[in-house]
Amino acid sequence: MPTGFTKDAGWEIGVSRTLPLPVETVWDFVAGPEGTALWLGTDRPLPVEKGARYETADGVAGEIRSHCPGDRVRLTYGDTVLQVAVSPAGPGKAVLRFHQERLAGARDREERRLHWRAVMDRIEAALLPEGG
Give average pLDDT by consecutive 10-residue segment, the chain, 132 residues: 80 97 96 94 86 93 96 97 97 97 95 98 94 60
Q: How many CB atoms lie within 10 A of CB 101?
A: 18
Q: Model pTM?
A: 0.92
Print the SS3 string covering 47-105: CCCCCCEEECCCCCEEEEEEEECCCEEEEEECCEEEEEEEEECCCCCEEEEEEEEEECC
